[in-house]
């Protein structure tokens, strides 16, 4: 596959690939071996100002305001077809950039196409309401686009989240500025390039590459942004929210997770083992919604963990382009962060049921490969069971009754996703109703991207919802009109 010259193309602003006078471009590294894939422009406040100004002009232009909702839907369906026509290239680029197995990247690209198809179907179905007031007054609401919306995209699922961001923003009639993660901007830039034949008004889509503390901070604090969507860490989310507050700008925050799989003794063991494993090793566990806690009934714990450890030990670990089960950790910084959790576990006498070591072998020494790991018998209030590790690392905590299971599951600062595993339908619904999180899966975990399912968190996992129809509320504002007749 021909390399993409990111440095030459630069940021995408007002329909132009803009190269800045930049003495320190960002190195984009291949997590599989540490080699440099490309260089990205180190955008900052100047580039953000240009991008926001371009988006604002484009949003108010007659060229965009005159596009009918139905025609926006046609554009989105065309975008879906473009993505599928370039599926192999985008998947390979995603694997090179992120490190994930190629089959997972191929799934991500298909999900990206589905986002465009899903939101294509709602462009002419964003309804208002009529409200009964009194005779002689016709009162109604309409939903209007916000204007210029910004998206700060994380490094773990860039093609999915870039596609979701672009699709919903276009569907609701907004203009946008995207800031991909400095580690993984390649598929976002390539996607925008592939969408150029749509002939959208210049400035409707803009991309500024750069570091979070420079370009991301400038975007969060910009006074002419009308909404900010941020997906990333809790600490950075706090900074984004604080910056937006200075301009009274609404935010949607998708932050950390410490999601439990709650396993009761009457579960379907074979099915449960399969999903518990998949939910922690997908993308090397570098997923905000990963099932990173196994909260399991004490009577079956020993046998279940032994089988799960054996399954982990039979997974292949290696370069994503070779389609191993688990690819590399994204960077040295992320790898060292996981190692610090391991050091804490050893210090506190936590047992490793399996894993806990760097994966060694031919072709692995230049990447940050990690054995999938189970930390056994972790107290529910221990730091390891409370904080996001963001790697293929599962903590195990036992319970003896339903109330204890719920107390453990709800007993972290986060509330993003939970899995419930039981053949007792009454218990399943009872537990689901008491879980403090944004999504609950019963006897499965995840649903092919969950495009139609509202996604977001309780507590410190953030607020606002992406995906599904619910997200339309984030990208539109309500106007009430009252007519006296």
Q: What is the pLDDT of residues 186-226, one digit of tens each?
A: 999 999 999 999 999 999 999 999 999 999 999 999 999 99
Q: Collapsing DSSP states into helix, strand and coil, what is residue 270?
A: helix
- Tell me, what's the pLDDT at 7? 56
pLDDT at 25 over 70: yes
Q: Quick one: DSSP state of residue 214?
A: I
The pLDDT value given to residue 387: 97
| Domains of the chain from N-terminus onward | 6-255+464-484 (3.40.605.10), 260-460 (3.40.309.10)
Residue 81 CA to residue 285 CA, distance in Å, equals: 30
* Structure token pair of residue 272: 């449960």
pLDDT of residue 4: 54
Dihedral angle sign, alpha carbons of residues 451, 453, 458, 463: positive
| pLDDT at 277 > cutoff 50 | yes
- Model confidence pLDDT, tens digit, residues 446-477: 866 799 999 999 999 999 999 999 999 999 99
Contact assessment for residue 286 and residue 389, using Cβ atoms and an 8 Å cutoff: no
pLDDT over 70, % of the chain: 97
Summarize pLDDT for 66-110 with one digit per residue, the tens.
Answer: 999 999 999 999 999 999 999 999 999 999 999 999 999 999 999
Residue 471: closest CA among 485, 454, 483, 458: 454
Read off the DSSP letter of residue 285.
G
**Active-site annotation holds for 254:** yes
| Tokens 């490094």 -> residue | 155
Question: What is the tens place of the pLDDT at every residue in 409-418?
Answer: 999 999 999 9
Lowest mean pLDDT among 50-59, 390-399, 439-448, 472-481: 439-448
Which residue, chain included where needed, has tokens 């063991």? 269
Mean pLDDT of 369-374: 98
3-state secondary structure of 132: coil
Count, residues in the chain: 485
3-class SS at 225?
coil
Q: Catalytic residue among 254, 297, 388, 466, which?
A: 254
Supply the pLDDT for residue 23. 67
Give Cβ neighbours of residue 430 (< 8 Å, ≥ 6 apart): 402
The structure tokens 């599928």 sit at 84
SS3 277: helix
> For residue 130, what pLDDT band results from cuts at 50, 70 and 90?
very high
Residue for token pair 């190269």? 19
pLDDT at 21: 63
Mean pLDDT of the chain: 96
Q: What interhelical angle do 69-85 and 102-120 show, nearest 10?
A: 160
d(CA 227, CA 219): 10
Give the mean model confidence (pLDDT) for residues 432-445. Answer: 97
Confidence of residue 1 (pLDDT cuts 50, 70, 90): very low
136-185 residue pLDDT tens: 999 999 999 999 999 999 999 999 999 999 999 999 999 999 999 999 99
pLDDT tens digits, 29-51:
999 999 999 999 999 999 999 99
Per-residue model confidence (pLDDT) at position 273: 98
Describe the crossing of helices 158-171 and 87-98 by its angle, rounded to 10 degrees. 120
Cα distance between residue 159 and residue 169, in whole Å: 15
Other CB atoms within 10 A of residue 426 CB: 8
List the beta strands (DSSP E) in 81-223.
130-131, 137-145, 148-152, 175-179, 205-207
């Amino acid at each position: 596959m021909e390399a993409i010259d990111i440095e030459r193309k630069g940021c995408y602003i007002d329909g132009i690939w803009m190269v800045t006078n930049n003495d320190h471009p960002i190195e984009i590294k291949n997590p599989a071996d540490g080699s440099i894939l490309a260089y990205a422009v180190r955008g900052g406040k100047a580039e953000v100002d240009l991008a926001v100004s371009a988006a604002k002009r484009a949003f108010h232009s007659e060229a965009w305001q005159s596009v009918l909702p139905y025609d926006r839907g046609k554009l989105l369906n065309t975008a879906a077809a473009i993505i599928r026509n370039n599926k192999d290239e985008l998947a390979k680029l995603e694997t090179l950039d992120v490190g994930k197995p190629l089959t997972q990247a191929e799934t991500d690209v298909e999900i990206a196409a589905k986002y465009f198809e899903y939101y294509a179907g709602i462009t002419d179905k964003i309804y208002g309401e009529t409200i009964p007031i009194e005779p002689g007054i016709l009162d109604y609401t309409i939903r209007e686009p916000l204007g210029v919306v910004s998206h700060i995209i994380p490094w773990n699922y860039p093609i999915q989240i870039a596609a979701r961001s672009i699709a919903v923003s276009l569907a609701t009639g907004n203009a946008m500025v995207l800031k991909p993660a400095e580690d993984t901007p390649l598929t976002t830039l390539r996607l925008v390039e592939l969408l150029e034949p749509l002939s959208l008004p210049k400035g409707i889509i803009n991309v500024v590459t750069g570091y979070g503390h420079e370009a991301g901070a400038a975007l969060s604090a910009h006074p002419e942004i009308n909404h900010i969507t941020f997906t990333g860490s809790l600490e950075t989310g706090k900074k984004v929210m604080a910056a937006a507050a200075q301009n009274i700008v609404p935010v949607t925050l998708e932050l950390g997770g410490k999601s439990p799989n709650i396993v009761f003794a009457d579960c379907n063991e074979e099915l449960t083992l399969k999903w518990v494993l998949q939910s922690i090793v997908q993308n090397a566990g570098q997923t905000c919604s990963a099932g990173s806690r196994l909260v399991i009934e004490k009577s079956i714990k020993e046998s279940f963990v032994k089988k799960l450890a054996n399954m982990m030990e039979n997974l292949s670990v290696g370069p994503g382009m070779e389609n191993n089960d688990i690819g590399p950790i994204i960077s040295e910084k992320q790898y060292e962060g996981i190692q610090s959790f391991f050091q804490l576990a050893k210090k506190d006498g936590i047992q490793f049921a399996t894993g806990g070591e760097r994966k060694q072998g031919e072709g692995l020494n230049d990447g940050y490969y990690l054995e999938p790991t189970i930390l056994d018998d972790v107290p529910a209030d221990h730091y390891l069971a409370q904080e996001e590790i963001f790697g293929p690392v599962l903590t195990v905590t036992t319970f003896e009754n339903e109330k204890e299971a719920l107390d453990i599951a709800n007993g972290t600062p986060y509330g993003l996703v939970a899995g419930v595993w039981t053949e007792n339908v009454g218990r399943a619904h009872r537990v689901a109703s008491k879980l403090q999180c944004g999504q609950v899966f019963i006897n499965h975990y995840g649903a092919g991207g969950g495009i139609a399912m509202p996604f977001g968190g309780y507590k410190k996992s953030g607020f606002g919802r992406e995906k599904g129809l619910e997200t339309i509320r984030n990208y539109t504002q309500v106007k009430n009109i009252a007519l006296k007749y």
